[in-house]
Structure 1
Amino acid sequence: MNKRQMERIRTGQGFIAALDQSGGSTPKALQQYGIEPSRYSGDEEMFALVHEMRTRIIKSPAFDAEYILGAILFENTMDRKIDGLYTADYLWEKKGIVPFLKVDKGLAELDGGVQVLKPIPDLDGLLRRAARRNVFGTKMRSVIHEANPHGIRKVAEQQFELGKQIWSAGLVPIIEPEVDINSRDKRESERLLKDEIFKQLSALAPDVTVMLKLSIPTEDDFYRDLMDEPHVARVVALSGGYEREEANERLARNHGLIASFSRALAEGLSDQQSDEAFNGLLTGSIRSIYKASIA
């Protein structure tokens, strides 16, 4: 494990950029970027176009280690190159930004008010590849829709079981049990989830380190005590469907919580924009998210 990267994640000022839209969400991400499905045929062309989009973001002067601590990649992006370097190496060597990898394969059907992770075939093989590609950590997303104690326990148990496997492979897991921002009982779900997270953390071996990626809580500073737990390197927040302005406002009220935004980061960017317009808009987005993250 890279100690410089760990120190940066633990103590650095900034946020984590989520550039990890996968197969199911890539067409929507491209459409938001101004690329219609008629412009590509098949997965290979689609993934090549989304890599061009991510490359444009990563190579932008706005995408700078002064504001960004880490970036989460999709598996297909990890295996592609930017200027002759694998994406993770480009991020760290050229930008000083810590690379993460999305390892989940999507969500199972709704059951007990939650969606756990689908099985991840040959996770060990993927983790070995990620380590060879100099990836620092991973992330995997489950979703909680209702304050169902049994369902929320299942989500936490699955996340931490996989987290231990990931840590054993030499990578730092981002545990991501998202609470749906539209849930009618979001506050209660957050209370149940925090209790389950503390139970799981207390059962970890002393040397295990994880990160937590959580929805911005209903009650400000609700996750403050998780930040002080010895196993937790950092607590980051997903935008969860909020527009960037609202996500930033909510985030700024939660001291110590930093962003790990995806859609809110890329909001307004377009394939048709000149580099000047693209970089200008991205600069504004990144600086606003950074400002909310260091509040």
Structure 2
Amino acid sequence: MASATLLKSSFLPKKAEWGTTRQAAAPKPVTVSMVVRASAYADELVKTAKTIASPGRGILAMDESNATCGKRLASIGLENTEANRQAYRTLLVTPPGLGNYISGAILFEETLYQSTVDGKKIVDILVEQGIVPGIKVDKGLVPLVGSNDESWCQGLDGLASREAAYYQQGARFAKWRTVVSIPNGPSELAVKEAAWGLARYAAISQDNGLVPIAEASENMFVKNYSY
């Protein structure tokens, strides 16, 4: 009997409301607060981020691949050898007072393990100048199947183990670059893939002690067009 009374009072309209439409009350929004701590590296990550973002200084992007570095060397008539790349990178990290203007340096993997022509580790030279060593960790763009001739960024496979090794070598932040093509859509698939990849990269980086820099580039140029 109690259940019947509850049913009548809760769900059946009153006689005066017969023939009218009752609108359900809009659900109240629920706010959920969640604090995520980056394991044992939490305090160090905050310190690193503050150093990189210190006022009046910027980030030096010297993460050219060996192939790109070879193009720069070729422009001045030099071969793309390890010795020439070493000399080129030595010039980048040894100017007097560099640390007054640069807070972080993004390195290519070879550079992270490389020494200058004088035999001093490049990472050590950066740290002595108050510059945080960083590392490019993505593996470049490849075609995204099922999209509008778009791409996705590879490199998540094995990222955790690679970043653990980079941390041991002295890196304290990472960079991952992906591209969203505006002329080709962008398709929902490409946007989701870019966002998912950046999020996974960032989580893995923090778990291994590296501050993640997420670079989402927009390709605004139309390569092929006709009127």
TM range, normalised to the smaller chain?
Answer: 0.5 to 0.7
Aligned to 1:156: 195
Alignment of 1:27-176 (within 5 A): 27-32=70-75, 34-36=76-78, 39-40=79-80, 45=81, 47-61=82-96, 64-82=98-116, 83-93=118-128, 95-109=129-143, 112-113=147-148, 114-146=150-182, 147-176=186-215
Checking the alignment, whether the CA contact within 8 Å between 1:140 and 1:175 is kept in structure 2 is yes
TM-score (norm 2): 0.68
Change (3 A) 1:181 1:89: farther
TM-score (norm 1): 0.53
Q: 1:198-241: per-residue Cα shift (whole Å, max 9, x none)?
A: xxxxxxxxxxxxxxxxxxxxxxxxxxxxxxxxxxxxxxxxxxxx
Runs of 4+ in 1 over 6 A off after TM superposition: none
The change in CA–CA distance for 1:15 and 1:181 in structure 2 (over 3 A counts) is farther
Label 1:183 to 1:12 Cα distance change in 2 as closer, same or farther (>3 A): farther
- One-letter amino acid matched to 1:179: E
3-state secondary structure, aligned to 1:166: helix
- Where does structure 2 lack aligned partners over 5 or more consecutive residues? 1-43
Q: Deviations over 1:112-149 (max 9, x none)?
A: 35321124542222212211112110112111222333
Root mean square deviation of aligned Cα: 2.3
Unaligned runs of 5+ in 1: 185-295
Shift of 1:49: 1.6
- Corresponding residue number in structure 1 for 2:40: none
Task: Call closer, same or farther: CA 1:3–1:167 in 2, change over 3 Å.
Answer: closer
Mapped pair 1:9 → 2:57:
no
Asked if the contact 1:117–1:142 (Cα under 8 Å) also holds between the matched residues in 2, the reply is yes
User: Following the alignment from structure 1 to structure 2, what is the Cα–Cα distance between the partners of residues 181 and 81?
Assistant: 38
Residue aligned with 1:81, SS: coil
Measure the CA separation in 2 of the matches of 1:23 and 1:120: 21
Residue 77 of structure 1 deviates from its aligned partner by 0.4
Matched ranges for 1:176-187 at <5 A: 176-182=215-221
Count of residues in correspondence between the two structures: 174
Q: Which residue of 2 aligns with 1:223?
A: none
Distance 1:115 1:141 in 2: 12
More helix by share: 1
> Is contact 1:89-1:133 (8 Å) kept?
no
Change (3 A) 1:157 1:4: closer
- Partner of 1:60: helix, strand, or coil? coil
2:52/2:59 contact within 8 Å kept: no
Secondary structure, in 3 states, of the residue corresponding to 1:104? coil
Identity of aligned residues (%): 27
Q: Which secondary structure state, in structure 1, belongs to the residue aligned with residue 141 of structure 2?
A: coil
Residues 148 and 121 of structure 1, relative CA distance in 2, 3 Å threshold: closer
Amino acid at match of 1:171: L
Alpha-carbon distance in structure 1 between the residues aligned to 2:190 and 2:112: 32
- How far apart are residue 6 of structure 1 and its match? 3.0
* SS of structure 1 residue aligned to 2:98: coil
